[in-house]
Structure 1
Amino acid sequence: MIQGFLAYLLWGIFPLYFPLLQPAGPVEILAHRFVWTLVVMAIVLLVMRKWRELREASARTWGIVSLAAIFIAVNWGVYVYAVNSGHVAEAALGYFINPLVSVLLGVIFLKERLSPLQKWSVAIAAIAVVVLTIGVGRPPVLALVLAFSFGFYGLLKKRVQLSATASLTAESMIMTPLAIAYLVYLGRQGTGTFTAHGAGHALLLVSAGFATALPLLLFGIGAKKIPLSTIGLMQYITPTMQMSIAIFIAGEHLEPARWIGYVIIWVAVAVFIADIVIRHRRTRRARRAERVRSADSAERVGPADPLERTEPAEAEERNGSATPRTAAEGDR
Structure 2
Amino acid sequence: MRYGLVNAVFAYMIWGLLPLYWKWFETMPAGEILSHRIVWSFVFVAGLITAQKRWRELKRTLQERRTLASLVASSLLITFNWLVFIWAVNNGHVVETSLGYYLTPLINVALAIVFLREKPSGGQWLAIALAGAGVILVTVEYGSFPWVSISLALSFGLYGLVKKKLKIDASLGLMTETAIVVPAALLFWSYLGASHTATAWTLPFGSTLLLLLSGAATALPLLLFARAARQLPLSMLGFIQYIGPTLTLILSVAVFKETVSPLMLVSFILIWVALVVYALASLREAKALRLGNAG
Q: What TM-score, normalized by structure 1, do the two folds share? A: 0.76
More divergent stretch after superposition (118-127 vs 250-259): 118-127
For residue 61 of structure 1, the aligned residue among 67, 75, 83 is 67
Indicate the RMSD between aligned Cα atoms, in angstroms. Answer: 2.8
Counterpart residue type for residue 182 of structure 2: T
- Between the aligned partners of 2:79 and 2:140, the Cα distance in structure 1 is 30
Give the conservation status (yes or no) of the 8 Å contact 2:102–2:135: no
1:12 aligns with 2:13: no
One of 138, 143, 146 as aligned partner of 2:149: 143
Query: Offset at 1:256?
Result: 3.2
Tell me, what secondary structure is at the counterpart of 1:86?
Answer: coil
Partner of 1:40: 44
Partner of 1:266 in structure 2?
272
| Residues 36, 185 of structure 2: 8 Å contact kept | yes
**Deviation of the 1:84 alpha carbon:** 1.8
C-alpha distance 21-55 of structure 1, shift in aligned 2 (>3 A): same
Measure the CA separation in 2 of the matches of 1:202 and 1:139. 36
**Residue ranges of structure 1 left out of the alignment (5+ in a row):** 291-332
Cα distance change, pair 227–169 in 1 and its aligned pair in 2 (3 A): closer
Superposed counterparts of 1:89-100, under 5 Å = 89-100=95-106
1:38, 1:176 within 8 Å by CA — same for their partners in 2? Answer: yes
For residue 103 of structure 1, what is the aligned residue in structure 2? Answer: 109
- 1:168 matched residue in structure 2: 174
Determine the C-alpha separation between the residues in 1 that align with 2:255 and 2:121.
Answer: 38
1:30 matches 2:23: no
Contact between 1:93 and 1:262, CA under 8 Å: does it hold in 2? no
User: Aligned with 1:96: secondary structure?
Assistant: helix
Q: Assess if the C-alpha contact under 8 Å between 1:132 and 1:140 holds in 2.
A: no
Alignment of 1:239-250 (within 5 A): 239-250=245-256
Return the alpha-carbon distance in structure 2 between the equivalents of residues 190 and 47 of structure 1: 36
Q: Which has the higher contact order (CA 8 A, sep 6+)?
A: 2
Helix, strand or coil for the counterpart of 2:165? coil
State TM-score, norm by structure 2. 0.85
**Aligned mate of 1:119, from 125, 136, 139:** 125
User: For this pair of structures, how many residues does the alignment match?
Assistant: 287
Deviations 1:275-330 (A, max 9, x none): 2222233344345x35xxxxxxxxxxxxxxxxxxxxxxxxxxxxxxxxxxxxxxxx
Corresponding letter in the other structure for 1:203: L
In structure 2, the gaps of 5 or more residues are: none
Q: Using the alignment, how far apart are the partners of 1:262 and 1:195 within structure 2?
A: 40
Cα drift, residue 220 of structure 1 = 6.9
